[in-house]
Structure 1
Amino acid sequence: GPDGRLMNPGHAIEAGWFLQQAAMRAEHPDLIELSRNMIRNAQDFGWDEEHGGLYYFVDSEGFSPVQLEWSMKLWWPHCEALYAHLLNYSLTSAPDDFAAFRKVDAYTFDHFVDPEHGGWYGYCDREGRVTHRFKGGPYKGCFHVPRALWLCWELLRNWPSRKS
C-alpha cells in the first residue's frame, strides 16, 4: 500500500519556509541549509514537468497516489512556493532559486488569477484548466494569497538590508 509514501509538495514547501524563518532567527547555518534543500527538493519532486504546476499529492516511489485529486493544481501550494523560493533566493543569490521562483510565478499568474474580474481561482486540473469557477468556499478562504503576496512584498521591500 501507499503508507509512508504520500507527499504533499505544498505542505513540504510551507514547512520548509517555516523552518527557514526559525533557523534564520536562531542563526543556525545547518538548519538554514536543511530548510533550503527541503524547499528545493519538494519543488523538484512535486513539479509537473509535462503541464507545469505543483501536484497536490505525489507518491515518493513514483506510483499514482490513491487520492483522486492527486494531479490537481491548487492555489495554495503555489502561494507557499512563491514565498519559499524568493526567501531562498534572498539568502543564496543562487540562479536555481530565482529560476524556481520565476517558474512558479509564471504558472501561478497564468492559471489562478482572473484577469477580468480579479481574485484567484483555487483549482485547476492537471493541464491547468480551471475546474471550479468560484473563488472562495469552505476550503478556499482569504488566507494563502494575501499572506504570500504580503510576505513576498516584505522581502522585496527590505531586499537591500538582507544582503550582507
Structure 2
Amino acid sequence: MTIYRTRAGLRHQFRDVLNFYYPDCIDTAVGGYVAQLDERDGHVYDARTKHLVATARGVHNFSLGVLADGPDWCRYAAEHGLRFLSNEHWDDDREGYDWLLEGRQTRDRTRHCYGHAFVLLAGARATQAGIPGGRAELERAFDVLEERFWEPDHELYADQATPDWELSAYRGQNANMHACEALLAAYEATGDERYLERSYTIADRFTREVTAATDGLLWEHYTAEWEPDLSYNEDSPRHQFRPPGYQPGHHAEWAKLLAVLADHRSEEWLLERARDLFDAAVELGWDDEHGGLYYTVDADGEPIVADKYGWVHTEAIGASALLSRHDESYGSWYDRLWEYSLEHLRNPRYGNWYERLTREHERDGPNHGPAVEPGYHPLTNCWLAMRALEAEPTAFE
C-alpha cells in the first residue's frame, strides 16, 4: 500500500511540513512568526512583515500539530503565535484585526473578512488543542464577523472595509468559503450549534442559490447585491488574489467543506452537491496533456491561467479523501492527485509544497511576498485524510 493510504505515511507528510517551518519561523525578538521562508531551501527572505493570515494560519498549523500528536514544540509554537495575534494584530480602538504589520507597527489596517475568518479558524483549532486564550480569540473573531461583515438580507458576509468599518461594494466567494470552514472548526471545538447553523446557512446560500446564476459553477466575484460580476478583473488574469474565471481549486475546496458538513448534518443535498463540485473541479480543471489541475478556467474548461498551484491539489486531495468514504471511485482521484503532487509539487528535499509551477512544471520565480500560506493547505488536508482513515479503517482500500 502506498504511503499516503496509511496513517503512518500521512503523518510523515504532515510532520515534514511542520519541520520545514519550525524553528526558523519563531520570531523571538518581536514575537509571532517569520512566515516568509523561501520554498526552495527555507532561508528567510523577509523577517519583518507580519501578515494577519500568515499569523493565524501559523497558530492553526501548530494547533493541528498538537491535535495530531506531533512534536512537543507544537504547543509552544501555537501559544507563541496566539499571543502575538491577540495582542499585536488586534486594534482595540476600532475593534478589528489589522491586516499587515511591520514588526509590531501597523502598516495596513484594512479590514478583510478573509483575515477575520482565519483568526476564527486559529481560535477554533487552538481551543481544540487546549491552547490558553484560544476560546477567547474564537469568540472575539466571531463577534466581529457577525457585527461588521454579516449581511442578514443576503445571509452572507461582506468582504472588505476601511479601518473605520465602511464596507466596500465588492462581495466575494473566497471570504465566505473560509468563513464557512472556520465556523465548522468552531463548532467542532465548542459544540455550540450557532456556529454549525451559520456555516450551513453560508454553504446552502452560496453553493445552491448564488451559483444558480452560473449554472452551478462557483464564480468568484459579485456586486453588493450578490449578482455575478462576470467582467471583474478580466484585464488582469494573473491577479494574485482576485483573478477572473472559475477556479477548480475552490470547487474542490467547497466539496471538502460540504463533506465535512455532512458529518454533522443529515441533509442529503450536502454530499450530492459535494460530488457535483468535485466532479466539476476535475472535469473543467484537469490538464490531460501535462497532468494536474489548472488555476483558472472559463466555463468550458479552457484554461485562463494554466499554472499548477500547490494549494489547489492539496484541497482536491482532502476532498477526495472525504468523498471516498461514501463512494470508492473518489479513491482513484485521491491516488492520482497524490502521485502527481509528489512528483511535481512537493519539495523532495524538505517536504514543503511549492506555491506555483508553470503548466509544464517549471518554476518561474522564487514566489516571494508577504502574503504566504505557511503550510496551511497541505497540513489541513493531510490531517483530514488521517481523520478519514480513522473514521473508516477500510477507506481507500
Per the normalisation by structure 2, the TM-score is 0.36
Secondary structure of 1:160's aligned partner? coil
Q: Which runs of 5+ in 1 are unaligned?
A: none
In structure 2, give the amino acid aligned to 1:31: L
Contact residue 39 and residue 84 of structure 1 kept, 8 A: yes
Deviations 1:60-106 (A, max 9, x none): 134553xxxx111000010100010111111112x3x1111111111
2:270 matched to 1:31? yes
Partner Cα distance (1:144, 1:136) in 2: 17
> Which of 48-57 and 13-22 deviates more?
13-22
The 5 Å alignment of 1:1-164 reads 3=230, 6-65=245-304, 70-93=305-328, 95=329, 97-133=330-366, 138-160=371-393
Secondary structure of 2:380's aligned partner? helix
* Cα gap change, 1:135 to 1:84, in 2 (>3 Å): farther
Deviations 1:17-67 (A, max 9, x none): 1122213321112321121121122122111111011100000134553xx
* Alignment-derived partner of residue 112 in structure 2: none
* Cα gap change, 1:14 to 1:74, in 2 (>3 Å): same
Partner Cα distance (2:300, 2:284) in 1: 10
Partner Cα distance (1:113, 1:136) in 2: 19
In structure 1, give the amino acid aligned to 2:364: T
In structure 1, give the amino acid aligned to 2:389: L
Contact residue 248 and residue 281 of structure 2 kept, 8 A: yes
In structure 2, give the amino acid aligned to 1:38: L
> Which of 22-31 and 149-158 deviates more?
22-31
Deviations 1:108-147 (A, max 9, x none): 1111112223322111100122334468852332211111
In structure 2, give the amino acid aligned to 1:28: E
Partner Cα distance (2:271, 2:264) in 1: 10
Secondary structure of 1:110's aligned partner? helix
Secondary structure of 1:6's aligned partner? coil
Secondary structure of 1:115's aligned partner? coil
Partner Cα distance (2:325, 2:291) in 1: 24
Contact residue 122 and residue 135 of structure 1 kept, 8 A: no
Percent pairwise identity: 28
If each structure's strand is expressed as a fraction of its own residues, which one has the higher value?
2
* Cα gap change, 1:34 to 1:64, in 2 (>3 Å): closer
> Which of 125-134 and 115-124 deviates more?
125-134
In structure 2, give the amino acid aligned to 1:114: N
* Cα gap change, 1:137 to 1:129, in 2 (>3 Å): farther
Q: Which runs of 5+ in 2 are unaligned?
A: 1-228, 232-243
Partner Cα distance (2:299, 2:366) in 1: 31
